[in-house]
Structure 1
Amino acid sequence: MRIPRGRRRPPPSLHLLLLFAALCFAALKTAAAAPRTGGTGEGGGGLASVTGSIMDTKDAIPAKDISRKEPVGGVIALKESMKYFDADFFNDSKLREMENGAKEFNVPAFRENRRLVAIKDGGLHDPSLLVFQSSWSSKSKVKESETFDYPQASMIQRPSNDEDIAFMSIIELGELIRTKKITSRELTDVFLRRLKRYGAVLESVITYTEDLAYKQAKEADDLLEQGKYLGPLHGIPYGLKDIIAVPQYNTTWGSKTFKNQVIDMEAFVYKRLKSAGAVLVAKLVTGSLAYDDIWFGGRTRNPWNIEEFSTGSSAGPTASTSAGMVPFAIGSETAGSITYPAARCGVTALRPSFGTIARTGVMSLSESLDKLGPFCRSATDCAIVLDAIRGADAGDPSSREIALEDPFHVDITKFTVGYLDSAEMEVVKVLSAKGAKLVPFKLNYTVESVQSILNITMDVDMLAHFDNWQREGHDDEYEAQDQWPVELRRARLVPAVDYVQAQRARGRLIREVQESFTVDAFIGNVTDWELVCLGNLVGLPIVVVPTGFKSIEHPPKGNTRRRTTVTTGIYAPPDHDHIALALAMAYQSVTDHHKQRPPIDAN
């Protein structure tokens, strides 16, 4: 138990000085009040004249104020700094008390807590117990079924060339493997060749996991020979964003500071995919410390227009999937890192409800915002991958077993689907023709600080996970100095009280969005920053759907296949990912935008 400190009494010598000073001032005031004689003889005249000159230049200081000292040293600095915390309302006495309290209590506590949990960067251990639950239901549901009831492709023939194989869907590739028309080893060959052919062009690959891939492919082929088929991901190659730990391989986080780092643990999502029989062929580019598309080896490019960059920190998974270098890949989003690159590179992607997929073994930015999700050829493929990797793990307190309905058996004619002004109208028309009820829609909320709430939350959480990195000066070697270095320095100036206020404002936003969400799902822009921030703060799932193309602004001379991709998003309430997936599958069942192939490095 800590005993509160009371006010300290001044030492006796100081009391005597104060008493003497008070008496002197009393005498001076009395003398000053007496009539001046103007003489120079004995008596009070001389004292009166001196006192008069003092009183003419400066007002007397009340005795009760004599104990107030002028601010010195740390108090002056503290007083000046408080304006950066929007808290410059303390007087000098209170600031001195705060300074002493910080020295005696706060700083030692800060240092001890950092020693316990912050020596290692990345947030892989000791997760926060302040757990965010995005569910709008007060009842905790348990996952109802182990797997979705996947559709089966029939009469699938093996193409004669690698290019056609590379752009087949998971369902199609899985059927080729199941019927032994191709082996996992052969598929692994195809995708490793493409990764090596285009990886340097797009700057999208960090590490080829070739030895592991052939080992896992052999295991998949051997199991099939024994009559054991693990499901649609059996023997299917894939890639992981390089914030996801895989033993014996570097997990670089895209940063030169950590490019030789090996994390001896299997991330939850990697374990799930391994148990489903999938084959890891590469660790794909993450922007440095999961920020944008710049990493220690370059900057990832867009396969649809190689003059553009992919945007978003899930740059490698997006570009590699778009270019047919992998059938699918796992990325992550804290604020736009799935939606932005998927939109730029024309890929179908799912940002699931917060908590759907455990993040154990994954570099952490913000424990209340981070989400893992798949980049695929289609919404059907996204549903298959989601089913394999969803689930809770003890290493991630925010993860949950969510009772998703089977998206392959959802009747969309029962849904009322809203559409924002930013929605692609082709999607509205197609879903309406498929039987859904489409209505104009707008989210109504009064919170005006949505974007700043996200930035405060993300930046402070990120700094907690990379506190040591900043203290050791590694931000000076960061790949893009206008990104994390600036934001994390600013995060040092966010007081704990205002971080909590931001979370309270976030709670208000969530309540208002829930009240305003009067439809089963809605269609809208995927790169509108306000909507990106809102969706991540609330925990809304979204499927990014390619909807077409338009000409690039500055095409090269001659004919060109380079295009700007057009996409839209299908949003659903938290824990209703199956609705967004079912609507996306319905749209893609009668369109082929998601099946188009980018020119990559061709004109």
Structure 2
Amino acid sequence: MAYKDNICTKGAPTTCASKILDGFLPCYDATIVERLSAAGAVSMGKLNMDEFAMGSTSETSWYGPVKNPWDLTRVSGGSSGGAAAAVATGEVWYAIGSDTGGSIRQPAAYCGVTGMKPTYGSVSRYGLIAYASSLDQMGPIARSAADCAAVLDLIQGRDPRDGTSLDVPAGGLLNSLTGDLTGKKIGLPVDCFGEGLDPQVRSAVLAAADVLKARGAVVEEFALPVMEYVVPTYYIIAAAEASSNLSRFDGVKYGWRAEGYEDLADLYCKTRTQGFGAEVKRRILLGTFVLSSGYYDAYYKKALQVKAVIKNAFDEAFTKYDLLLTPVAPTTAPKLGESLSDPLKMYLSDIYTVSVNLAGLPALSMPCGFDDRGMPIGAQLIGPALGDGMVLNGAHAFQLETDWHRRAPSSGPAGHLPPCGGKVTTKGGI
């Protein structure tokens, strides 16, 4: 297995794919690293990502972009693009990524693998270098829902070093996978299937709904109008928290330091100017703006109020439905360079995923087909808070009927992997 490069590993470089953390060697392991190491996990190293997890394509890395193993001219998704690409090519059995607004699920969809964002607080964030603390959550990317369940059995549970971690029981997810959806109600938010969605993505996700129906589920359409507000709400809150969290990277305490400075203020200015990339600077500036005294009430405070409205809308939906099914992204993986030339277009690619982080819910991306260019398509299952097992079982049911998650890039070693979804043990790895 391997870790995204924003997860602290003792004595091993942890850079967040940023120049400003070049040479940083953590003096401790993240809780998730401790737990997996104790279970026998063998880490192959760290995985490339968008700088400080800010991006949807894994192109903002100081080390260069991550390419999609299905088509090297296209992006792998972000910000956990290196994690998804490594699993897709068979370099690792599973990887640990972080998800602030879809950064596990979207690259998993683009690369044709399975990615799980757990309930907020169910996995300790101790040792994760923060982007937006109220939204960040770590989780597994693997080839199947069963593999994700096996990993989550090892990493979930209360951690006294993380004040936001929940006292949830650890283990039992893998053994709970039955694939039986008899009587389960699955909602299709019509607001996620309208304008802007590629017709091929729509068809593949609706076909996935038919498979779930065949496994015993009742599938219904319903309205979720708050989806109109999720992207602006997310980017205001995420940028505000990023502005605060990234203020610690100043060239004094750790990481890279600029040369030729005259005084402390000049050190800060030159280090941050030369050390951060364009996308990180853009989000810091946006966050500083919405937190400023003249605009705090107009933007940040209002975004927090809308966040509560979004959460309430999902809570209401889950009084009627056990799971929700949506696309993961409006299109399949775009060409390298396309999104960087139009940041707003990149932000809109998160339209179906960011609501999950705003509401603190569990969600999973599962492969459900390919477009006419041979690029993977992902479907997203969303569950109520602490309904991680229900989400995993829904995906497991789908994967018992399909083989999309077994497909691999023909040029990569994954073409020789044994079938997924069979017997999996949590003792000593997968």
Q: TM-score, normalised by structure 1?
A: 0.56
1:476 equivalent in alignment to 2:273: yes
Q: Is the 8 A contact 2:119 2:360 kept in 1?
A: yes
Give the Cα–Cα distance (whole angstroms) in 1 for the partners of residues 276 and 65 of structure 2.
Answer: 10
> What is the deviation of 1:319?
0.5
Aligned residues: 353
In structure 2, distance between residues paired with 1:367 and 1:479:
19
Q: Deviations over 1:555-579 (max 9, x none)?
A: xxxxxxxx21111111111110111
Match of 1:233 in 2: none
- 2:212 corresponds in structure 1 to 431
1:523 corresponds to 2:289: no
Equivalent position amino acid for 1:417 in 2: I
**Alignment-mate amino acid for residue 305 of structure 1:** D
CA positional deviation for 1:486:
1.5
- Pick 1 or 2: higher relative contact order, CA cutoff 8 A, min separation 6: 2
User: What residue number does 1:97 align with?
Assistant: none
Tell me by how many angstroms 1:309 deviates: 1.6
Structure 1 residue 448 displacement after superposition: 5.1
Q: Which of these two proteins has the greater Rg computed from alpha carbons?
A: 1
1:456 maps to amino acid? I
- Structure 2 residue 164 is the aligned partner of structure 1 residue 395: no
Alignment counterpart, residue 379 of structure 2, candidates 549, 563, 568: 568
Equivalence for 2:184: 415
Question: Partners of 1:487 and 1:593 in 2: how far apart?
Answer: 36
Q: Deviations over 1:417-468 (max 9, x none)?
A: 12245361221121111112222233244x8543222112111111111114
Counterpart of 1:463 in structure 2 is 243
Cα deviation code 1:56-110 (max 9, x no counterpart)? xxxxxxxxxxxxxxxxxxxxxxxxxxxxxxxxxxxxxxxxxxxxxxxxxxxxxxx
Residues 387, 365 of structure 1: alpha-carbon distance in 2 compared, 3 angstrom cutoff:
same
1-structure distance, mates of 2:145, 2:168: 19
Q: Do 1:256 and 1:478's aligned partners in 2 also have CA atoms closer than 8 Å? A: yes
Instruction: Tell me by how many angstroms 1:306 deviates.
Output: 0.9
CA distance in 2, matches of 1:410, 1:601: 30
Equivalent-residue separation in structure 2 for 1:279 and 1:389 (angstroms): 15
| Change beyond 3 A, Cα 1:590–1:468 | closer
Q: Percent identity?
A: 30
RMSD, aligned CA: 2.1
Q: Is the 8 A contact 1:444 1:513 kept in 2?
A: no
Q: In structure 2, do the counterparts of structure 1 residues 585 and 564 end up closer, same or farther at CA, with 3 Å as the change threshold?
A: same
Contact 1:349 1:382 (8 Å CA) reproduced: yes
Residues 1:269 and 2:50 are matched in the alignment: no
Cα deviation 1:380-423 (Å, max 9, x = unaligned): 00110011111121222111123587432574213111224536
CA 444–296 in structure 1, closer or farther in 2 if over 3 Å, else same = closer
SS of the aligned residue for 2:328 comes to coil
Q: Structure 1 CA distance, aligned partners of 2:408 and 2:242? A: 37
Deviation digits for residues 466-510 of structure 1 (CA, Å, limit 9, x no counterpart): 1143643444335642x1112211222223445333222211221
Equivalent of residue 534 in structure 1, options 355, 359, 365: 355
Q: 1:278 aligns with which of 41, 64, 72?
A: 41
Q: Which amino acid in 2 is paired with 1:285?
A: N
- SS of residue paired to 1:530: coil
Please name the residue that 2:254 is paired with.
Answer: none
Do 1:336 and 1:527's aligned partners in 2 also have CA atoms closer than 8 Å? no
Pair 1:378 & 2:144 matched: yes
For residue 374 of structure 1, give the secondary structure of its aligned residue in structure 2: strand
1:487 & 1:590 partners in 2: Cα distance?
42
The residue aligned with 1:507 is 308
> Structure 2 CA distance, aligned partners of 1:426 and 1:270?
38
SS at match of 1:373: strand
User: In 2, Cα distance between the equivalents of 1:403 and 1:418?
Assistant: 27
Deviation readout 1:522-555 (Å, 9 max, x if unpaired): 1111125333221210112111111111232xxx
Which runs of structure 2 are paired with 1:260-339 in the superposition (5 Å)?
260-292=23-55, 293=58, 294-339=60-105
In terms of fraction of residues, the more helix-rich structure is 1
**Unpaired stretches in structure 2, ≥5 consecutive residues:** 194-201, 251-267, 331-349, 414-430
CA distance in structure 1 between the partners assigned to 2:165 and 2:389 by the alignment: 18
Q: d(CA) in 1 for partners of 2:216 and 2:37? A: 39
**In 2, Cα distance between equivalents of 1:412 and 1:332:** 29
